[in-house]
Amino acid sequence: MNSNPTQPSTPHVWIIVLIASLGYFIDIYDLVIFSIVRIESFKDIGIAEINMRTDGQYVLNMQMGGLLIGGVLWGVIGDKLGRLKVLFGSIILYSIANFANGFVQDIHSYALIRFIAGIGLAGELGAGVTIVSESMSKDKRGYGTMIIAAIGVLGALAAFYISEIFHWRNAFFIGGGMGILLLFLRIGTFESGMFQQSLKINMKRGSLNMLFNNKERLSRFVFVLLIGLPIWFIVGILITQAPEFGKALGAPEVLSAGKGIMFTYIGISIGDIFAGLFAQLTKSRRLTVFVFQILILISSVWYLSSTGITSGKFMWLAFFMGFGVGYWATFVTIASEQFGTNLRATVTTTAPNFVRGALIPSTLLFQFFVDLYGLINAAYIMVFLLSGIAIFALSRLKESFSKDLNYIEE
């Protein structure tokens, strides 16, 4: 019998983990499907080849902008109304957007629908990780988030193979259909015990003002965000723009962004498992993130210095870079552990989406450096800059591995 009233029984915990994992699986599918079908879909709606890269950045930035806004929206709802409200509301929104995406005929409607999809997607991971973190014991919760990430990122593999078999419009329809199926699976899922306990106490919940009216708390939040900065630059720029990087490196054939994303997410999945186990072994999430920052630098430099890169070598390097950014689940777990129950969903939902949304300024800064120094040198500058910032921010955070999460922010 479970002696902690805020924690459900063991079988129910693993059902929660499974459902959260499936949600993240569909989340990742929807996040990367655009990057995979970008070239094919753009050709179909009449985008000129010269505009492929810049229009791709435009649509991706709109999606990331939606994630940024959605992160705040769903985070506040999660702390005010409950984690389950987020899980149901977000999946309905991004499923509808996926269906709509299959009907686009021009670049602006494409971008607008990706923006709406981004808002929907923003709630999935944070709410899932929050429920799992609050439902498991402090020495086991790392395993829960590790499983969510390891299963979830396999959605990228599904996205690749579905895009290979089906027309790009049908790939979006399938994503919407998977979301609706998951919606029915979630019926009967229970709310977080810690959240239910917090409702008995008169306190502020989900207040963004609480993040900004306390200098120490704001600093904690900013440092959490900064440790995740390199992740989406690797995926959103170095891998998504593989055809352009291959051309700049003198590749004998066009590098496939779709295959690159598939191998990157295989690497992320394995990296997430390794990061989770390494953190459990060392009992340090900070050390884990530091090790992965070094792997990001090594793999990125190897990629950017690979003159004459072949498709085969690119696949291996995409896997290696994916492994390097495979601390994603550890990053989200750190965000969850740094704040009390009355702000946990807000932070755990906003943090990964702010990091995804940070791809917008990263892309703009990258383009600035491209204009000055060229594609390859600009990528070098950005990788070292973002990893340097992440390492500094990591040094400012306290270790949270064994932290008891049953507390509130005053």
Does any domain span residue 357?
A: yes
Q: What does the pLDDT read at residue 394? A: 95
DSSP assignments along 6-75, one per residue: TS--HHHHHHHHHHHHHHHHHHHHHHHHHHHHHHHHHHHTT--GGGHHHHHHHHHHHHHHHHHHHHHHHH
Average pLDDT over residues 291-316: 96
- Each residue's pLDDT tens digit, 261-283: 889 988 988 898 899 889 989 99
Cα dihedral sign, 37-38-43-46: positive
Does any domain span residue 407?
A: no
Mean pLDDT is highest, among 26-35, 293-302, 330-339, for 293-302
Does any domain span residue 93?
A: yes
**Is 345 in contact with 126 (CB distance < 8 Å)?**
yes
Does any domain span residue 274?
A: yes
Domain CATH number, residue 250: 1.20.1250.20
Local confidence band at 10 (pLDDT 50, 70, 90 cut-offs):
low
Within 10 angstroms of residue 398's Cβ, the number of other Cβ atoms is 10
Q: What does the pLDDT read at residue 199? A: 56
| More confident position, 407 or 176 | 176
Local confidence band at 407 (pLDDT 50, 70, 90 cut-offs):
low
Number of domains forming the structure of the chain: 1
Non-local (6+) Cβ contacts of 32 within 8 A are 155, 156, 159, 235, 261, 265
Tokens representing residue 274 in the block: 């390794």
Give the position of tokens 């769903």: 74
Q: What does the pLDDT read at residue 367? A: 92
Local confidence band at 197 (pLDDT 50, 70, 90 cut-offs):
low
CA–CA separation, 193 vs 13, rounded Å? 11
pTM of the model: 0.75
Does any domain span residue 410?
A: no
Does any domain span residue 3?
A: no
Angstrom CA distances, 292 to 25, 259, 287, 333, 387, stand at 23, 23, 9, 15, 10
From 111, 173, 135, select the one nearest 18 (Cα to Cα): 135
| Position 99, amino acid | F
Q: What percent of the chain has pLDDT over 70?
A: 91
Non-local (6+) Cβ contacts of 250 within 8 A are 307, 308, 309
Does any domain span residue 147?
A: yes
CA–CA separation, 126 vs 192, rounded Å? 13
Does any domain span residue 65?
A: yes
CA–CA separation, 225 vs 83, rounded Å? 21
Q: What does the pLDDT read at residue 2? A: 43
DSSP assignments along 366-395, one per residue: HHHHHHHH-HHHHHHHHHHHHHHHHHHHHH
CA–CA separation, 281 vs 212, rounded Å? 35
Q: What does the pLDDT read at residue 353? A: 79
Structural domain containing residue 92: 10-395
Task: Using the CB atoms, write b or e for 242-275: b if 16+ within 10 Å.
Answer: bbbbbebbebeeebbbbbbbbbbbbbbbbbbbbb
Cα dihedral sign, 265-270-273-277: negative
Using the predicted structure, report yes or no on whether residue 404 has a pLDDT greater than 90.
Answer: no
Using the predicted structure, report yes or no on whether residue 205 has a pLDDT greater than 70.
Answer: no
